[in-house]
Structure 1
Amino acid sequence: MINFGVNRNGILTSKLNAGTNDTYKHVFNQHLSQDKIDYLENNNAYEYLCNECELLNIDYKLSTALITLADMKNVSIVTKKFKNLEVTAITTAGVRTNASRAGDKASYWEDCGEFHFGTINIILLTNAYLEKSALTEAFMTVTEAKTVALNNLKIPSQYSNGFATGTGTDGVAIFSNKDSDNLLTNAGKHSKLGELIGKSVIESVTKAIGKQVWLSNKSQSNALVRINRYALDINEFYDNLDYDKFEFISQLRTDARNQKNVAIASSILNLFDEVQCNLIKKEDAFDLASQIKEKCDSYPIKTLLEYWINCFIHKS
């Protein structure tokens, strides 16, 4: 929980005092234990947060909150500075089961109100004063920066073959300092404020993901991780495999970490993406993918890639 020592305005997605407000005094990010989840299944989220404020001895009218399954011990706090300007991003993140891409098929539909808890929660603070237009622009910059962090780690959507742009239940809360004489009018990507927002959010989201679900640059540098973004039922492949399965899998796990194999797998998957986006023809992608596959010296990786190519971009 953060108790503001200055007057703050903000913009946020919380069920408690959402939208924009000029009188925020407190904000907290809360891990949901199972008993709290059970309670929320049959109760109103707004009332729940008001009750939590009462337990914390803070005024709900002057407070807001984000809630998540992520552990608070895995929070990431990053501060960026330029001269007298300062931006701090405070992030919790879980993306293993809920990562999704804008435009993916919906996982639920809402009728007469339904509550879902946040997965990537970002609280952003700046010591400058931002009016509503700049706060809204900051919100956009935060959202784009979150997507950059996910794309840098090649986080896959759990609902499609694309890369995730967030989760289905993210939360954002941005606050500026109303007492500051430094009134800033722009928080877009061309501004220094936008740069600091982008860098702090990218770094904090990246670190939070590493803490919460152990995904990192190292873990994602794996040919099997890349291939699995285009998921298949692998049983048919193994049923028809003319090779000792135990030996094949053992060698596959070793070869998957080889940087050349990672690069080859990524190049072929990029061709899959190009076909899905109608940027290149399927027959051209198939021919190129087949040529790239031949550069692979690993029998397990090469065999697996051939199966993937035939399943996803086989020439008509």
Structure 2
Amino acid sequence: MKLNLKLGLLLVVIFCYNVVPCFGSEQVKLYTLSTGDTVYREDTSVIISFEKPRNVLSTSRLNGGYRDNLKAVFNHDMKNATGVDGATYLDYLQGVAKHLGLNPARATGMGTAASMENVAIQSESYQTLTVTAIVTGGVEGNGGRAGDPATYFSPGKKTTLHKPGTINIMLVIDADIPSGTMTRALVTCTEAKTAALQELMAGSKYSNGLATGSGTDQTMVIANPGSPLYLEDAGKHSKLGELIGRTVKQAVKEALLRQTGLSPQKQHSVLRRMNRFGVTEETLYQQYLQEYGMIDKQRFSTSLRQLDKEPALLTGTSLYVHLLDQFQWQLLSGDELTQAGNDLLLLTAGKYHVSPPTLAVDELEPSVRAWSGLVVKVVADRVNQ
């Protein structure tokens, strides 16, 4: 009997550790919304419990879609969970809700691999309207561009592959808005997230394009039907749309900074600007070996890292990368790419007093290799001085 009791307790502990946060957790108040609802953190979740009726539009598997009968929403860090897949993900979210003291039938939640300690909250107001964005996220491991190659297709299957969300957004609008306007708010919110990623020049991990989000982003829009302020437009021409754009962009940038350090300063790098085209320290080192012969890798790396943030090379790289983007988007012809690319190669090479590589073919791969060749040539000149 004692053995069975000990075994049962052990199984509870294992389940608690692997599936839901452990019991006896402390609630930490993070923010009081203009609606009167409190945003708080408990264990590895950020929760909003509703004081009064709220309308919610959610992308969640748990009570997702449009709902007007929910009592709470949550965002949960599940990176330490084990054994969770498409077949068990809904059960997992229900278990998290129960642990948090929420009724699983009256809550909706999102899973993520981002830490709740890195949550960003941004709020802005105009007259009696207040909009608040509550965001966790990372994009450097799972960033993707709309239209990138997919990884699975499961027609007719309800239990598809599950991955926890990366950029998760709770958007709280302290106004009474109809369900169609909530959907429009979701569109504006998504545009704002993408604008934040574009302004950071965050690259896709699945193509050489700029990321428009991660592959697993989730969003909730929460509106206040009890508000005396009634609005029917959440597009970019409306003040509501403006506040959505401003709060979401700011919160997404702050969340990415907190989670992975992604920032304008971090992106101020030749290697990071060229990374989405397959250019890395290792590929440059191999190109150096092919063109200039053996060099100690540490010596090469030291010289490359010194060059990495130099304004002359960085600004030239930034302009060259934009040429490559516009060529791929068919905004520049092959002849225009070749002419402007050679002009930039000549200009930047002149600043470092080396002879420029020549771009002779209006194709992406030779164009990337030409600029890589310039970087390698500057490194070679430095190490041989």
TM score, norm. by length of structure 2 = 0.76
Contact 1:285–1:313 (Cα < 8 Å) also in 2: no
SS at match of 1:129: coil
How far apart are 1:309 and its partner, in Å? Answer: 7.5
Q: For this pair of structures, how many residues does the alignment match?
A: 313
Q: Which amino acid aligns with 2:49?
A: N
Partner of 2:52: 6
CA positional deviation for 1:247: 4.4
Q: CA deviation at 1:252?
A: 2.4
Q: 1:51, 1:230 → 2: CA distance?
A: 42
What is the DSSP-based 3-state SS (H/G/I as helix, E as strand, rest coil) of the residue aligned with 1:184? coil
Aligned counterpart, 2:375: none
Match of 1:242 among 292, 298, 310: 292
TM-score calculated relative to the size of structure 1: 0.91
C-alpha separation between the residues in 1 aligned to 2:353 and 2:48? 55
Q: Which 10-residue stretch deviates more, 273-282 or 95-104?
A: 273-282
CA–CA distance in structure 2, aligned partners of residues 43 and 314 of structure 1: 45
- The equivalent of 2:21 in structure 1 is none
Alignment of 1:178-217 (within 5 A): 178-217=225-264
Pick one of 57, 70, 74 that aligns with 1:24: 70
Q: Is the 8 A contact 1:4 1:25 kept in 2?
A: yes
Matches within 5 A, 1:133-212: 133-212=180-259
1:91 aligns with 135
| SS of structure 1 residue aligned to 2:291 | coil
> What is aligned with 2:366?
311
Percentage of identical aligned residues: 33
Residue pair 2:79, 2:114 contacting (<8 A) in 1 also: no
Q: Which amino acid aligns with 1:174?
A: V
Counterpart in 2 of 1:63?
Answer: 107
State the match for 1:293 in structure 2.
Answer: 345
Alpha-carbon distance between aligned partners in 1 of 2:154 and 2:273, rounded to the nearest angstrom: 33
What are the Cα deviations for residues 135-189 of structure 1, in whole angstroms up to 9, with x where unaligned? 0000000000000000010000001111000011000001000111111100000
Stretch moving more, 169-178 or 47-56: 47-56
Any stretches of 5+ residues in structure 1 without a counterpart?
Answer: none
CA distance in 1, matches of 2:255, 2:356: 34
Tell me, yes or no, if the aligned pair for 1:87 and 1:196 is still in contact at 8 Å.
yes
Rounded to whole Å, the distance in 1 between the matches of 2:205 and 2:364 is 21
Alignment-mate amino acid for residue 326 of structure 2:
E
Residue 18 of structure 1 aligns with an amino acid whose one-letter code is G
**Counterpart Cα distance in 2 of 1:301 and 1:311:** 18
Which amino acid in structure 2 is aligned with residue 273 of structure 1?
A: D
Shift, 1:280, TM fit: 1.9
Residue 105 of structure 2 aligns to a residue in which SS? helix
Task: Point out 4+ residue stretches in structure 1 off by more than 3 angstroms.
Answer: 232-236, 243-249, 298-303, 312-315
Residue 130 of structure 1 deviates from its aligned partner by 1.1
Q: Say whether the 8 Å CA contact 1:282–1:313 is kept in structure 2.
A: no
**Larger Rg over CA atoms:** 2
Is residue 116 from structure 1 mapped to residue 163 from structure 2 by the alignment? Answer: yes
With 226-235 and 282-291 compared, the bigger mean Cα shift is at 226-235
- Unmatched segments (≥5 aa) in structure 2: 1-46, 371-385
> Aligned-pair RMSD on alpha carbons?
2.6
Give the structure 2 partner of residue 267 of structure 1: 319
Aligned to 1:39: 83
Q: CA deviation at 1:279?
A: 2.1
Give, in angstroms, the shift of residue 100 of structure 1: 0.2
